[in-house]
Amino acid sequence: MGSLPIAVSGSTVNSGGCRWWGWCNKNNSSGKSGSNGSGSSDSCANSSAFVFFLVSFVCLASIAGLYCRVLLPPNVHTILSSLGCNEDNEGSWSIGVYYGDSPFNLKPIEEANVWRNKTAAWPVANPVVTCASASGASFPSNFVADPFLYVQGDILYLFFEAKNSITMQGDIGVARSTDKGATWEQLGVALDEDWHLSYPYVFDYNGNIYMMPEGSAKGDLRLYRAVKFPTEWKLEKVIMKKPLVDSFIIQHDGKYWLFGSDHSGIGAKKNGQLEIWYSSSPLGPWKPHKKNPIYNTDKSKGARNGGRPFLYDGHLHRAGQDCGETYGRRLRLFKIEALTPTEYKEVEVPLGLKESMKGRNAWNGARSHQLDVQQLSSGEWVAVMDGDRVPSGDVNRRFILGCASVLGVVMLVIVFGMLLGAVKGLVPLSWCPHNVGKRSDASFDWERSSLLSNRMRLFCSRLNRASSSLRARIKLKTCSGGLVLAVIFIVTVVLMCTGVKYIYGGSGAEEAYPLNGQYSQFTLLTMTYDARLWNLKMYVKHYSRCSSVREIVVVWNKGQPPELSELDSAVPVRIRVEEQNSLNNRFKVDPLIKTRAVLELDDDIMMPCDDVERGFKVWREHPERIVGFYPRLADGNPLKYRAENHAREHNGYNMILTGAAFMDSKMAFEKYWSNEAAAGRAVVDKLFNCEDVLLNYLYANASSSSTVEYVKPAWAIDTSKFSGVAISRNTQTHYGLRSSCLQKFSEMYGSISSRKSEFHHRNDGWDV
């Protein structure tokens, strides 16, 4: 490499192309930095390395950009509110409602099948209160958590922590419901102090309503009294000069008991400590339990309180937080068997709530840490629970992993450049520009004699000799050398995409999109037979994890159906075995379907859950239409069935393929099985084709307005192409049959050629 000797502590060391400050200064002080050509060669080497790095990172950035555009789901919360719902390192908490005949048999609100037509919720689904709910009511919040109920007759009040996205501290928000928690009216901020507030425990005492929020940042525990319920409160008393968190007060055996955790500890004690105090009044004075601290070790044991205690079957029950894996990972329930000033005993009992299998696509897939359950006058139990789809500290963790991935990319690019010869060493050839001015002799002598300078020169030399050895061992013109380059390139691309995913791609959750502040669910329906079982297994495993899917219905047309145990599903699966192999079975009236929306989706189509969720939101905006992902334009004389490219060339479509489309289960199926459609169904049976074309005609015939709506998927794969079981393998024959159907159906139900919807008409840009 044109090595030059450098004196180090009286000895001669070969620099291996590494030049420390001393060599650079020596050249400059003589005014002959380029006299022997070394300055020119250094400049060329640096230029080639610069060009290599520039080209490498431009290419990698292009790959990462394409990866982001195609494969990463958009950040849903940025769409919800411009003020609130920002990504927060504490999480993205929201609140759900549950019902049951006991506190040990609670089911989410969607299983109660509560419909709300005005909010397009058929049925209402959890979460019912989110950061968007609060932000839309003019108090911008990053998340809502720590819910507590207060019941007044048929009215439910919900108090909760709302993390202010401007001040970044917790305030206490309040909402009201007159329909048992299906919908909530946001009333605003109930309590706002100069310090963080959370855990708004609300209770009655002597005709007054009190709130005891957690405010440990102030260093004490405070009790507030409602002046004008529920939005005006005044400080009644500082009941304890101790920074207790997540505290509650209960009455038991003639005394009042205060449970709380001292959060001033570190490590396991921070969420693994529980103290009990007792008094003759909620206003104090309070005496400590003889065994305090009751717990003081393991934060996974449920020591930190997780909501309001409740009385059931004569026993007190306490909810505690399991913070073992992450803060607020799950709830644990304990039955209190002994509570006296000298004794405390509790045993764990089953909570009775099933965790979602949808992972981060579920609103509470990662964490749930507070429960308030109360019995209504009707005898029914209602509960509110918070949940989060990401663990605590997820933002920091993703940033660290992303930076580590990018650092790995940089190192691999250097190694790649060394192997190609574009980079001459692991450290630059020179550490100062060639045109630097003359340095003083004293500075030059110091650099030569400095121990640090000597060691760095030696280290630099060894590194560059190692890079030379690497190039000598890996010969690029051999097969093994080419394979090494290929592996390095692939690993570099994977690391780059991984880093971008961690830094830019968000939590990885493909969330549902609310409409009017409400979430809902739909039924996924597919039609298949025994030769496509492998498709079905992959289909069920993927789509059952989508946030809004409630149930999967499999219309089994031919052969022996699989056992349900063969399908890996996060939601219930129902296999409907048909007597006759007919495409008309796809739209058969099914009274067991519990949702208004049905997504008819062929078992050989794979697309991201985010695309499915976007389509569901668009359909909820237009439930009278067929909303889908594959547009077609039937035009010409005679009418011809053409592909999506033709529709785009003519900037319009008048059909949506129902092999991937949302529709109203009642309206669509009743239209299809009406007497009017009998002749069309006969054509479908004869040709074994065109069932989706028929439904488009039936919709168009029943309405004078637009009946179809297109949503563009980020990507979609036809998996049947890999198996040889595709129904329409011969495209020309398939399109010919469909053109024939168009002509027959036009004679029966009137033409749809003039019913054209345009692309690019949606403000959200989802129909480009």
Residue pLDDT, tens place only, 250-273 = 999 999 999 999 877 655 467 778
The predicted-structure confidence for 603-615, as pLDDT tens digits, reads as follows 999 999 999 999 9
Sequence-separated (6 or more) residues with CB below 8 Å from residue 197: 161, 169, 170, 171, 172, 191, 213, 214, 215
Which pLDDT score is estimated for 13? 40
- Over pLDDT 70: what percentage of the chain? 86
Q: Which of 323, 414, 307 is nearest to 370 (CA)?
A: 307
Per-residue pLDDT band for 728 (boundaries 50, 70, 90) equals low
pLDDT higher at 730 or 102: 102
The predicted-structure confidence for 740-751, as pLDDT tens digits, reads as follows 999 999 999 998
Which pLDDT score is estimated for 35? 46
Which tokens sit at 712?
Answer: 């563009």
Whole-angstrom distance, CA of residue 401 vs CA of residue 197:
32
Q: Could you tell me which residues are beta bridge partners of residue 224?
A: 211, 235
Whole-angstrom distance, CA of residue 631 vs CA of residue 655:
6
**Cβ atoms 181, 128 nearer than 8 A:** yes
In this prediction, residues 61-83 reach a mean pLDDT of 70
Q: Which of 692, 718, 764, 767 is catalytic?
A: 692
Q: Count of CB atoms within 10 A of residue 629's CB? A: 23
DSSP string covering 242-272: S-EEEEEEEEETTEEEEEEEETT--GGGGTS
Q: Which residue has the tokens 């020596």?
A: 26
CA atoms within 13 A of residue 17's CA, in its CB half-sphere? 20
Whole-angstrom distance, CA of residue 52 vs CA of residue 417:
7
Whole-angstrom distance, CA of residue 57 vs CA of residue 417:
12
Whole-angstrom distance, CA of residue 212 vs CA of residue 203:
8
In this prediction, residues 613-623 reach a mean pLDDT of 97
Which pLDDT score is estimated for 428? 52
Its pTM stands at 0.87
Q: Could you tell me which residues are beta bridge partners of residue 204?
A: 209
Which tokens sit at 366?
Answer: 């990662």
pLDDT higher at 324 or 708: 708
In this prediction, residues 80-103 reach a mean pLDDT of 87
pLDDT exceeds cutoff 60 at 725: no
Q: Count of CB atoms within 10 A of residue 562's CB? A: 18
In this prediction, residues 682-704 reach a mean pLDDT of 94
Q: Using DSSP, state whether 56 is helix, strand or coil.
A: helix
Q: How far apart are the first and last CA of the chain?
A: 56
Which pLDDT score is estimated for 429? 45
Task: Quote the mean pLDDT of the chain.
Answer: 87
Question: Which domains does the chain show, CATH number per domain?
Answer: 94-390 (2.115.10.20), 394-429+458-506 (no CATH), 522-749 (3.90.550.10)
Q: Using DSSP, state whether 576 is helix, strand or coil.
A: strand
For 85, 90, 109, the CA distances from 218, given in Å and listed in that order, are 26, 20, 37
In this prediction, residues 556-581 reach a mean pLDDT of 95
Conformational region of residue 120, where left means phi above 0, alpha means psi within -120 to 50, and beta covers everything else: left
Which tokens sit at 503?
Answer: 């830094």
Sequence-separated (6 or more) residues with CB below 8 Å from residue 215: 193, 195, 196, 197, 221, 222
pLDDT exceeds cutoff 70 at 433: no
Which of these ranges, 122-131, 384-393, 454-463, 624-633, has the smallest mean pLDDT?
454-463
Per-residue pLDDT band for 426 (boundaries 50, 70, 90) equals low
Which pLDDT score is estimated for 136? 84
The predicted-structure confidence for 333-355, as pLDDT tens digits, reads as follows 999 999 999 999 999 999 988 88
Which pLDDT score is estimated for 6? 37
Q: In the annotation, is 692 catalytic?
A: yes
pLDDT exceeds cutoff 50 at 689: yes
Which pLDDT score is estimated for 16? 41
Which of these ranges, 13-17, 604-608, 658-662, 758-762, has the smallest mean pLDDT?
13-17
**Cβ atoms 659, 602 nearer than 8 A:** yes
